[in-house]
């Protein structure tokens, strides 16, 4: 005798609802993902890719893979942790160091995208970054912060 399992639209929806409810109940009272946890997961993925590349070139002991698994395990431990105040303080320390690096990187990328249409200067008195359109010749630039006027070639 053959047993067939019929899948209906309702059973698939019900299964999805059950999984969602299970995950929701699992995360009650837990810290959840944050900037440090996401960064650790990305670091784990990068280490795994580097391991695959190195292992392809030189067949060696998987040190990078073990480190990658440890970093991913620590990230998931942080996500599932119930010690919220400690995880929050760890994330605050991470953001304190990560935020300046990220903003400098974003500003650099933004400047590189605008290099064709704008020229960037620093005010000689207050060191404020100024942006002027390219191709206007010799112009007088007035700093909006300190009011200093100086001449620059665009």
Distances in Å between the Cα of 32 and the Cα atoms of 24, 93, 104 are 11, 17, 28
pTM above 0.75, yes or no: no
Task: Determine phi and psi for 131, rounding to 5 degrees.
Answer: -125, 125
Q: Could you state, in order of their start, the residue ranges of all structural domains in the chain?
A: 29-114, 115-154
Range of 19-23, 71-75, 149-153 with top mean pLDDT: 71-75
- The pLDDT tens digits of the residues spanning 108-130 come to 999 999 999 999 888 888 989 89
- pLDDT higher than threshold 90 for residue 22: no
- pLDDT higher than threshold 90 for residue 28: no
Please, are residues 132 and 119 in contact by the beta-carbon 8 Å criterion?
yes
- The pLDDT tens digits of the residues spanning 38-86 come to 999 999 999 999 998 888 878 777 888 999 999 999 999 999 999 999 9
| Cα angle 108, 131, 109; round to 5 | 15
Chain Cα centroid distance, residue 22 = 28
d(C-alpha 151, C-alpha 37), whole Å: 49
pLDDT at 60: 73
């Amino acid at each position: 005798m053959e047993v067939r399992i019929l899948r209906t639209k309702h059973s698939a929806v019900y299964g999805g609802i059950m999984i969602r409810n299970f995950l929701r109940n699992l995360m009650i009272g837990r810290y959840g993902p944050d900037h440090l946890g996401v960064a650790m997961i990305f670091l784990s993925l990068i280490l795994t890719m580097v391991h695959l590349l190195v292992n392809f070139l030189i067949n060696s002991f998987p040190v990078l893979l073990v480190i990658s698994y440890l970093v991913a395990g620590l990230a998931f431990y942080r996500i599932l942790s119930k010690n919220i105040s400690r995880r929050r303080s760890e994330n605050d320390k991470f953001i304190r160091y990560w935020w300046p690096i990220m903003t400098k990187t974003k500003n650099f990328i933004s400047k590189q995208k605008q290099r064709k249409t704008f020229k960037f200067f620093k005010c000689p008195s207050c060191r404020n970054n100024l942006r002027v359109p390219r191709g206007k010749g010799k112009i007088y630039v007035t700093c909006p912060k300190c009011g200093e006027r100086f001449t620059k070639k665009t």
